[in-house]
């Protein structure tokens, strides 16, 4: 009986560590939209590339649902993936996922988007300083 209890306890500890790692993967970056939205970046999928760029996922969590004009639905969570160039101070959009309040989701990948300048005092500039400075 003790052996079974110890095995169960051991498995629970392993499982709780994995859950804890998932919780810690998203780190607060800033707030947005007059405090209606908190922005986080994913530490696990952060990827440095050979051409001095970094790929990063951002998570936007809205306190009050926001409206997606394309689908005409409200969402509270959105994920967006970017590639940041430290050399050129540019960013390129790669993918996004919207999680709608009705339980559905929508995603898109755009690996051919062109790099855009990173403007001062934006979320993109915060990401640039996080990754490049």
Binned average pLDDT, 10 residues per bin, the chain of 133 residues: 48 42 83 92 94 95 94 96 96 95 93 91 95 90
Please report, for the domain that includes residue 82, its CATH number.
2.40.128.710
**Structural domains of the chain, count:** 1
pLDDT per residue as tens digits for the range 5-17: 444 444 444 444 4
Q: Give CA–CA dist 109/106, Å, rounded.
A: 11
14 in the Ramachandran plot: left (φ > 0), alpha (ψ -120 to 50) or beta? alpha
Residue 7 lies in a domain: no
The domain of 89 spans 26-132
Residue 33 lies in a domain: yes
DSSP, res 72: T
């Amino acid at each position: 009986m003790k052996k079974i209890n110890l095995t169960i306890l051991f498995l629970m500890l392993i499982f709780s560590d994995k859950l804890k790692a998932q919780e810690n993967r998203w780190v607060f970056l800033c707030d947005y939209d007059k405090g209606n939205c908190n922005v986080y970046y994913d530490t696990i999928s952060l990827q440095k590339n050979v051409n001095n760029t970094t790929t990063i996922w951002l998570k936007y969590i809205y306190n009050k649902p926001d409206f997606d004009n394309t689908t005409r639905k409200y969402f509270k969570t959105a994920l967006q993936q970017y590639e940041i160039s430290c050399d050129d101070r540019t960013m390129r959009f790669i993918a996004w996922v919207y999680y709608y309040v009705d339980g559905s989701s929508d995603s898109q990948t755009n690996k051919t988007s062109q790099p855009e300048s990173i403007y001062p005092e934006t979320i993109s500039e915060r990401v640039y300083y996080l990754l490049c400075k």
